[in-house]
Chains A and B, each alone.
Chain A
Amino acid sequence: MNGRETRTALAFLAPSLCVIVVLLAYPLARTLVLSLYRYNLAQVLGKPARFVGLENYRDLATSPFFWHVVLATLAFAGTCVVGTLAVGTIVALALEDAFPGRSALRVVVALPWAMPAVAASIVWKWLFDDQHGPLDAFLSALGLHAFAGFSWTANALVAFAAVAVIVAWQTFPFVTITLLAGFATLPRSVYEAAAVDGISDWRRTCAITLPMLGPLFLTLIVLLMIWDVKVFTQMYVMTGGGPGRGTYVLGLYAWREGFASVHLGVAAAIAAAMSALLAIFVGAYVRLARGSTA
C-alpha cells in the first residue's frame, strides 16, 4: 500500500473511527483512569481527586466479598446459559417440523426477547410474589403445599434460581431463532441417507442435527456467557442484591458502589475487572468466529 492509498483508507475509516473513539475508547479510558483515583462524593462536589494508583484493585483483590461475587456471577451466568440453551433447543426442535400455525408460533416465541428487561422483570416479580403471586397459588393447587406463601427471594440460592428463570425466559428466543436458521443450513443429503437407513426421529436429532450444529452451539455458549455475566436489570428488580448481600452479581456490585455509595473509583475498578473477565469470553468468541470463516 503506498502513502496515498493509506491516506485514502484512513479517510474512509475516519467516520467509523470517530464513532468508536467517542463511544468506546473514551468511556473505557475514562473508566480505567477513574479506577486509579479515590473519587467519592466529596470529589464529585469539587474536592480534588486523589491518585491512589492500584489501591482500588488491591482492595478488591484482598476482599473475600469481591471474590465471592465473582464466583457467584460466573456460577449464575453458567446456570443461565445451560437453562437458556436447553429451553431454546427444545423449542427450536419443536418448531422445526411443519405444523399448522407454526409461522405464528415462531413470531410469538420471539416476544420475550423483544420485551424490555425492566418490564419483564416486574411482571415476573409479580408472578413470583409470595402473598398474591399466581405461581405459588398454582403450585400449591397442584398439591405442593410447601409452596403456599413460599418466598422466592428469602434465600439467596432460591433467588438466584428464580432470576435465572427470568433471564433464560428472556434469552431463549435468541437461541431458538439461531438454531432454526442453523437447521436450514444442514445438507438434505445426510437426512435422506438417514431416512433410507430407517433411523428414528430421536436418533436423527441426537446423532445428526445437534452434532452438526456443534460450532453454532459453541458460539451461542460464548455469546450467552458474555450477556449473562453482565446481567443487572433482572437482579436489580427482583432482589436488589438481597437478602443481605446474598445475590450480588458484578454488575449490581459496581452499580451499588458507584451510585448508591458514590465510590466512583471503586466502581470503576469493578467495571474494569468485569471487562477483563469478559475479555476472556470475547477472545474465545473471536477465535471461534475466525475458525468458522477460515
Chain B
Amino acid sequence: MKRLALLLSAVMWTLCGCDRHEQPTLSVWIMRPGNIAAAQAFFDAESAGFERTHPGIRVRVEFIPWLAAHDKLVTALAGDVPPDISELGSTWTAEFAAVGALRDLDRLDHRLGGRSAFVPALADAATLADGHVYGIPWYAGTRALLYRKSVFARARLEPPRTLADLARDARALSDPAQGTYGFALMGNNAPLFYPIVWEYGGDFAAPRDGVWHSQLAASDGARKALAYVHDLYRDHTAPQGAITWSDLDGRSAFAQGTVAMTVTGSWALASMFAEHPDVRADVGIVPFPSSRANAGPVAFVGGSHLVVYKRSHRPDLAEAFIAALSRAQAQRRWATTVGFYPGRAALVRSTIPDGTTVLESRVFADELLSGKSTPPAPGWGEVEGSATIPAMIQSVLSGQATESAAIAHASAEIDAQLDPDL
C-alpha cells in the first residue's frame, strides 16, 4: 500500500512537472548583488506585476554570481539553452552580439527613447559597429577618489584635482617607515588605469576597416600613463604589495588607515561603511583627478545591459519585460538597491545610492554622464578575461619590462584578441 502511494505521488509529480513545463515561462538571469534579500523582493514584485498584466505567463528570475556568469552563459549557449533575458556586463554585450547570440533591440531601444535617453557610455557599449543596438542599459557605475579628511587636514593639503596634485599629495602623505602610504595604487585593477590613459591622450583600441586594433602604441598616452604609475610606485607612495591589489584590497587598506587615498565605486560604499562605521565621517569623495586643472575628468563608466537571446521562444514578451524593468521607478529602485545608478540618463542626478550623501552622489553622477566605456569591440571581453592590461601594468611596476616593451607586448596580445579571424 505504501509502495502504491509512493508510485502515485511520483506519477503526480511527473504530471505536475509536465504541467509546469507547459505554462509559458520567461527565464531571466540577473547578476547576484550583495543585497540579495532586497534584490529578491524587487524581482518578486516586478514578476508579479508582469504576470498580472500578461496572464498565463510565468517569470522565473535566477541570480547568478558575477564571477561565474560568463562561463555559465557560454555553457548555456553552447548547450542551446540560454535564458530568454539576461543581464550582461557592459563589456560582454558586444562579444555575445558579434557571435550572433543576441537579438537586436533597435525597436525597443527606440521606444524607450533611443541613445539620448541613456547614460552615453553604456549606450555606446550596447551598439555594435553594424549600427544595431543589442542591449538596454540597466545600471551604471563609476569610480571616484576617496580620501581621509583628517590625514589631509593634518598635512594642510587639499584633495587633489589634477594627476600632478595626486602624485604630489601621495608623496607628501607617504611614510613607509611608519607603514602609512598616500595612495592605493592597485596593480590588479584595470579600471583605475583606464582614465589615466585617457587623460594623457591615449586610448586602448579603435576600429579600422571594420577590424579593431590596439591603440596603446598609437600615441604617447599609454606610455605616459604607465610612467606616471611607475613613478608613484617607485617612490613608495603605495605598499610594495599593492602591485597585486584589487579594488577590495585597496578599500580595506583605506578603511584601516594604511593608505590615505583610494579609488572605488559607489556600489562598494554601503558595505565598506557598514563594516567600518567609525571611518564614515572621515571619508571625503572627489572626482578622479584629470590631467589639467579646471577640466572635468574622463571617468571610466561600466555597468550592465539587459539583453534578449536569439534562441528565446518569446522575444516579444522578453522585450515587454525589459520595458517594464526600464520604468523610471523600477530602474531607480533597483539602482539604489545595488548601489549603482540607473541606466536612464534622466534619473542619474536624482539617485542617491546607499552609502553616499547627496553631495557625494553628485560626484559620481557627473562622472557618469561625461565618462567613457572601454572599446565596444567584440574581443574586448577577452582582453579583460586575459587580464592583459593588469599584466602590462604589473610587468612595468615589478621592473620586468620597460614601459615601451610592456606596451608592445600588450598591443600584440590585444591585436590577437580583437582579430575576429583568430
Contact = CB atoms under 8 A, between A and B. Distances in A.
A156 B398 contact: yes
Nearest to B417: A261
Contact of A243 (B74, B187, B256, B385): B187
A268 B297 CA distance: 44
Given A243-B395, A243-B397, A243-B398, A262 B241 contact: no
Contact of A131 (B241, B243, B394): B241
B253 interface: yes
B243 A44 contact: no
Interface stretch (A88-96, A147-155, A186-194): A147-155
Interface stretch (B26-34, B95-103, B121-129): B95-103
B394 A242 contact: yes
Contacts of A211: none
B391 A149 contact: no
B244 A149 contact: no
Contacts of A230: none
A242 B188 contact: yes
A246 B394 CA distance: 9
A30 interface: no
A153 B244 CA distance: 7
B226 to A, nearest CB: 12
A150 B78 contact: no
A44 B71 CA distance: 11
B74 A41 contact: yes
A237 B378 CA distance: 29
Interface string A222-258: 0000000000000000011111111000000000100
Contact of A154 (B241, B386, B392): B241
A130 B241 contact: yes
A241 B385 CA distance: 13
A243 B400 contact: yes
Contact of A130 (B95, B239, B387, B417): B239
Given A154-B244, A244-B394, A262 B385 contact: yes
Contacts of B392: 244
A256 B394 CA distance: 17
Contact of B99 (A45, A155, A261): A45
Given A149-B179, A244-B391, A260-B387, A154 B77 contact: no
Nearest to B75: A44
Given A42-B99, A45-B99, A131-B253, A245 B395 contact: yes
Contacts of A51: none
Contacts of B188: 240, 242
Nearest to B187: A243
B407 to A, nearest CB: 13
A46 interface: yes
Contacts of A242: 187-188, 243-244, 390-391, 394
A27 B43 CA distance: 42
Nearest to A256: B386
Residue from the set B80, B244, B256 with the largest chain A CB neighbour count within 10 Å: B244
A31 interface: no
A154 B240 contact: yes
B74 A44 contact: yes
A97 to B, nearest CB: 43
A155 B398 contact: yes
A219 interface: no
Interface of A: 38, 40-42, 44-47, 129-131, 148-156, 239-246, 256, 259-262
Q: Closest 4 interchain pairs by CB? A: A244-B395, A151-B241, A130-B241, A243-B394
30 contacts: A44-B74, A45-B74, A45-B77, A45-B78, A46-B77, A46-B78, A130-B239, A131-B256, A131-B258, A149-B176, A149-B241, A151-B243, A151-B244, A153-B241, A153-B243, A153-B244, A154-B241, A154-B243, A154-B244, A241-B391, A242-B394, A243-B187, A243-B395, A243-B397, A243-B400, A244-B392, A245-B395, A260-B387, A261-B385, A262-B74
